[in-house]
Amino acid sequence: MHDRPHLVLIGPMGAGKTTLGRLLAQQMQRPFVDLDTVIVQAAGVTIPLLFQREGEHGFRKRERAALADVLAGTPAVIATGGGVVLDPDNRHALRRHGYVVYLRVSLATQLHRLHGDTSRPLLDTPDPAARLAALQAQRERLYLETADLVFDADAGSPEALSTALAARLNSTGACCA
Ligand code: S3P
């Protein structure tokens, strides 16, 4: 078996990790795992409620445990949450067990895709644009440090982006055969 069997998508909120991940998993005939969904299923409450009850710290603890479980499981396409790279152990585990793709998007694309969203507690603020910019300023370096491949995901339909990313992955030959 490949020693880094998973294909992992990282990047900020609104990058399209879940949408693209699902399509890629179909194309690659692999299971798709959305890490936020795993966390929600384990907690039995929504992410906003989880943040309310346990704070961001509690959420990160659950995120770390869920990631370790998923990485120990069947080879999959994994969509992570935007903050997964904050934890050094997560970054190490991602690189050890996965081929990691950073989906890079502009702030404008994030804002467009996240308009009206109420499922992300970190955006529950009077100025979501400023929050997204601040998070990106903090995290960009971590995304770049963790990724094997940077993929610009601003333009194009999800289907076109997924096909283009699959082609890039095939051409590198490095990913999760
Ligand atoms: C978060 C991103 C969210 C979710 C949580 C925290 C973050 O996932 O994990 O709300 O810290 O950026 P998405 O990136 O899938 O929106």
What's residue 173's pLDDT? 79
Output the 3-class SS for the chain: CCCCCEEEEECCCCCCHHHHHHHHHHHHCCCEEEHHHHHHHHHCCCHHHHHHHHHHHHHHHHHHHHHHHHHCCCCCEEECCCCHHHCHHHHHHHHHHEEEEEEECCHHHHHHHHCCCCCCHHHCCCCHHHHHHHHHHHHHHHHHHHCCEEEECCCCCHHHHHHHHHHHHHHHCCCCC
Dist CA 111 CA 50 (whole Å): 24
Give tens-digit pLDDT for 105-137. Answer: 999 999 999 998 999 999 999 999 999 999 999
Q: Are the C-beta atoms of 7 and 77 separated by less than 8 Å? A: yes
What's residue 1's pLDDT? 44
Dist CA 44 CA 168 (whole Å): 37
- Residue that wins the pLDDT comparison between 2 and 14: 14
Find the 1 Cα to ligand 1 centroid distance in Å: 31
Buried b / exposed e across 81-115, counting CB within 10 Å, b at 16+?
bbbbbbbeebbebbbebbbbbbbbbeeebbeeebe
Dist CA 43 CA 54 (whole Å): 11
Find the 152 Cα to ligand 1 centroid distance in Å: 19
- A 10 A CB-CB count for 18 gives 17
Find the 121 Cα to ligand 1 centroid distance in Å: 8
Cβ < 6 Å from ligand 1: which residues? Answer: 13, 17, 36, 47, 81-83, 120-122
Pocket test for ligand 1, best of 122, 138, 140 (most atoms within 8 A of CB): 122
Give tens-digit pLDDT for 156-165. Answer: 999 999 999 9
Task: Read off the pTM.
Answer: 0.96
Give tens-digit pLDDT for 57-95. Answer: 999 999 999 999 999 999 999 999 999 999 999 999 999
What is the number of the ligand 1 atom nearest to the C-alpha of 47? 10
What's residue 163's pLDDT? 94
- Residue that wins the pLDDT comparison between 1 and 14: 14
Find the 94 Cα to ligand 1 centroid distance in Å: 16
